[in-house]
Structure 1
Amino acid sequence: MSEQVTAAVREVLPALRERAQEAEDRRRVPDESIKALQLAGVFKLLQPARYGGHEADPITFYETIRAIAGACGSTGWVSSVVGIHPWQLGLFPDEAQREVWGDDPDSRISSSYAPTGRAKLVDGGYELTGRWSFSSGCDHASWVFLGGVVTDGDGKQVDFCTFLLPRKDYVIEDVWDTVGLRGTGSNDVIVEKVYVPRHRALSFADTSKCVCPGQEVNTSPLYKLPFASLFSYAITTPIIGMATGAYNAHVEHMAARVRVSYKGERSNEDPFAKVRIAHAAGEIDAAWLQLKYNMTELMDLANRGERIPLPLRLRIRRDQVRGTGRAIEAIDLLFENSGGRALRTGTPIQRFWRDAHAGRVHAINDPERALAMFGNGEFGIPVQDAML
């Protein structure tokens, strides 16, 4: 089934590419694109088979996202973030899964994980209040994941959870007006004293231990992976896809470009342009090959039922932030060598450049934090972080 999804996505890539400017203008992915990706099965790649999903290998999911982002950065970003959420819902108690997928297996979930709201313990669950930013694709979702610190009656912090809320329990405020990833519709989500039952909360402590309630019904090794490893690459992969799209657009652009200042020399005859292309291609390949290598090792351990060791988790986070960095370096090399015509509104190179730099500022891409954690691990210094 995964191969059918991949083939179906290839069919819709030209349409996604044509709608890239429309996504920017609307500040959200066009409904037609979401519908096409839904019909292709993209949002079910990591969904449990019990609810019509494919339970695909993560690499298949990332390969699909890379292709989509290579056509339209914003569409690739939303596809990745929304597409990883069925996997996370598979970690929740089955009661929560039934609420979302029982009547509609195509239900989608957006998210905002930063604990910018307040959750306090009440009988049977939690009372949640707050505002969360950057919920990509929220207009195309009927549920949302929200991060929150949990406090008891005395105001003492007792947990850090992801909360699942239906669309009737939150308000979306249209605030997304940016220079990059304009088409993601990453608006704010507002919640005011909403009751969240206990089965619609998942502790980050459980996801870090890879021991979650959903594993009782979703027994595939796919659901025994660390949240941080999968989610962090769901952010880096579309950026690698944008770099790939920029690379292809740049090569096509340079094949026809004439450099006026160099006596009419065609750019494809310029040896320095070729060197930049080679450097960019190498950076993109390095980012992608490390991702595949790490995910292959991660799944091999899960398939054998073995514990995911901390050194591997640290390496994944190290290579994830470096993968983002490599993709950005590649796009910068290409953009700097594209000439003034690439600056025109509507050209793919400048759009990929803006989108990738917008994705770069996502919190999960903070290189110093991830690299320092890796260094601590190498020196035997204890490392504790929710995103490991």
Structure 2
Amino acid sequence: MENVVLGRVRELLPTIAERARETELARRVPDEVIRSLIEAGVFRMLQPARHGGLESDPVHFFETVRAISAECGSTGWVTAVLGVHPWHLALFDDTAQAEVWGEDPDTLIASSYSPVGTMVRVDGGYELMGCWRFSSGVDHCGWALLGGLLVDERGDAVDTTTLLVPRSDYQIRDVWDSVGLRGTGSNEIVVERAFVPDHRVMHNYEFSQLRGPGQKVNTGPLYRIPFATVFSSAIAAPVLGVVAGCYEEFLTRMRSRVRLSLGGGRFVEDAFAQVTVGRASSEIDASILQMDRNVRALMEAATAGNEIPMQMRLRARRDQVMGTERALDAIDKLFKISGGASLDTGNPIERGWRDAHAGGAHVANDTERALALYGRGAFGLPVEDNMI
């Protein structure tokens, strides 16, 4: 099946690349770029058809994210994060979906999933308050998915949840100033005190059980694959795209480079540079191929109506974190061997190196934790984690 949205996005890539430096300096993706991506249909790729979405093959979505990230890591990151939220909203009660998309199917949703918000039970729902960090692209959004910690009368934690909150119920603090992914506008969200009705709350244990109220109306296989795979792949895809784009930029820049030291000569004739290119390209390809293979396998199982095996879910997380690690290793090799040519602030190789490592720091790319879970499963031990 053809990735129609990617075809539209390719027409936007030169402009996205031209505005990458501007995006970084402004610390946010330009409104015009977001509008162009909305018009291309990127943010509707994982949105339910019944709410104007495309219900695309998720592999196509990740492919599109990688293409954008290759030109601008910050734009690709925001695209991935805001683009995956319609998939999550599709698991909420249909009343919540209608509140977000009823008047405007292009409404965007931000997030900060860390359960740092305090919530207490009240009649018909919950009262929420808190401050959440790192909400990428939040300035472009009308709603936010926020992590909450439910406490009882004694103040003890009894449950973790995700709450859907409208823009009118929270404030945005412009605090984002980072070493990498500087253009993502990942600012803070503050809720002083807001009422969140029951239909806009999901319990996090539902993630690992592969269920949600929205499956009653969104019955397609797309909404029966693991949250952990969809979300973590959305976090890995920009990193892989940035590194793939950096690799291509490296080849373009180095083909004409002549060294003035180390004996001089054309850079491309250096056997060590040739080996580095071979290793880096293989790591990039392996990372992308494994991630796409796993997502396809999950979709095939869901389409056939089969139960998705725990081993398949664990493998997807294993390959996602290892793919990110391989990609970071590849860009480190390219950055190091490119020498002084990669040090000027703002050049694509330097920016890509910073962006890739910033993305790699996300908790979804925590290699050791994910591998430990895979190891437990391989040894036949029970695995209980919302990120599987």
Band the TM-score falls in, shorter-chain normalisation = over 0.9
Give yes or no for contact 1:93–1:213 (8 Å, CA) kept in 2. Answer: yes
Greater CA deviation, 202-211 or 56-65? 202-211
Aligned 1:221-300 pairs, distance under 5 A:
221-300=221-300
Alpha-carbon distance between aligned partners in 2 of 1:315 and 1:157, rounded to the nearest angstrom? 31
Alpha-carbon distance between aligned partners in 2 of 1:265 and 1:120, rounded to the nearest angstrom? 69
What whole-Å deviation, never above 9, does each CA across 1:323-347 have from its counterpart, x for those lacking one?
Answer: 1101101100100011202211221
1:158 aligns with 2:158: yes
Give yes or no for contact 1:46–1:84 (8 Å, CA) kept in 2. Answer: yes
Alpha-carbon distance between aligned partners in 2 of 1:211 and 1:2, rounded to the nearest angstrom? 29
Give yes or no for contact 1:2–1:54 (8 Å, CA) kept in 2. Answer: no
The residue that corresponds to 1:16 in the other structure is: 16
What whole-Å deviation, never above 9, does each CA across 1:215-267 have from its counterpart, x for those lacking one?
Answer: 11111110111111100000001100001011001001111111111343111
Structure 1 unaligned blocks of 5 or more: none
Alpha-carbon distance between aligned partners in 1 of 2:333 and 2:49, rounded to the nearest angstrom? 43
CA-CA distance at 1:113 after TM superposition: 0.4
- Give the partner amino acid of 1:132: W
- Give the partner amino acid of 1:371: L
Give the secondary structure class of the aligned counterpart of 1:261.
coil
- Give the partner amino acid of 2:227: F
Alpha-carbon distance between aligned partners in 2 of 1:25 and 1:33, rounded to the nearest angstrom? 15
The residue that corresponds to 1:338 in the other structure is: 338
- Give the partner amino acid of 2:258: V
Alpha-carbon distance between aligned partners in 2 of 1:148 and 1:309, rounded to the nearest angstrom? 29
Give the secondary structure class of the aligned counterpart of 1:115.
strand
Aligned alpha-carbon RMSD (Å): 1.1
- Give the partner amino acid of 2:114: A
Structure 2 unaligned blocks of 5 or more: none
The residue that corresponds to 2:67 in the other structure is: 67
- Give the partner amino acid of 2:337: N
Alpha-carbon distance between aligned partners in 2 of 1:251 and 1:62, rounded to the nearest angstrom? 24
Alpha-carbon distance between aligned partners in 2 of 1:207 and 1:379, rounded to the nearest angstrom? 23
The residue that corresponds to 1:138 in the other structure is: 138
The residue that corresponds to 1:26 in the other structure is: 26
What whole-Å deviation, never above 9, does each CA across 1:344-371 have from its counterpart, x for those lacking one?
Answer: 1221000000000001110111111111
Give the secondary structure class of the aligned counterpart of 2:273.
helix
Alpha-carbon distance between aligned partners in 1 of 2:120 and 2:314, rounded to the nearest angstrom? 32
Alpha-carbon distance between aligned partners in 1 of 2:361 and 2:380, rounded to the nearest angstrom? 29
Which 4+ stretches in 1 moved above 4 angstroms? none
Query: Identity rate of aligned residues, in percent?
Result: 56
Give yes or no for contact 1:2–1:45 (8 Å, CA) kept in 2. Answer: no
TM-score between both structures, scaled by the size of structure 1: 0.98
CA-CA distance at 1:159 after TM superposition: 2.2
The residue that corresponds to 1:200 in the other structure is: 200
Alpha-carbon distance between aligned partners in 2 of 1:4 and 1:186, rounded to the nearest angstrom? 29
Report the count of equivalent residues.
Answer: 388
CA-CA distance at 1:2 after TM superposition: 6.5
The residue that corresponds to 1:104 in the other structure is: 104
CA-CA distance at 1:155 after TM superposition: 3.0
Give the secondary structure class of the aligned counterpart of 1:256.
coil
CA-CA distance at 1:379 after TM superposition: 1.3
Alpha-carbon distance between aligned partners in 1 of 2:16 and 2:360, rounded to the nearest angstrom? 22
Alpha-carbon distance between aligned partners in 2 of 1:220 and 1:176, rounded to the nearest angstrom? 37
TM-score between both structures, scaled by the size of structure 2: 0.98
The residue that corresponds to 2:42 in the other structure is: 42
Alpha-carbon distance between aligned partners in 2 of 1:270 and 1:157, rounded to the nearest angstrom? 59
Give yes or no for contact 1:287–1:322 (8 Å, CA) kept in 2. Answer: yes
Alpha-carbon distance between aligned partners in 2 of 1:251 and 1:32, rounded to the nearest angstrom? 30
- Give the partner amino acid of 1:384: E
1:367 aligns with 2:367: yes
- Give the partner amino acid of 2:307: R
Give the secondary structure class of the aligned counterpart of 1:55.
coil
- Give the partner amino acid of 1:47: Q
What whole-Å deviation, never above 9, does each CA across 1:64-123 have from its counterpart, x for those lacking one?
Answer: 000000010000000001000001000000000000000000000010001111111111
- Give the partner amino acid of 1:124: G
The residue that corresponds to 2:218 in the other structure is: 218
Give the secondary structure class of the aligned counterpart of 1:262.
coil
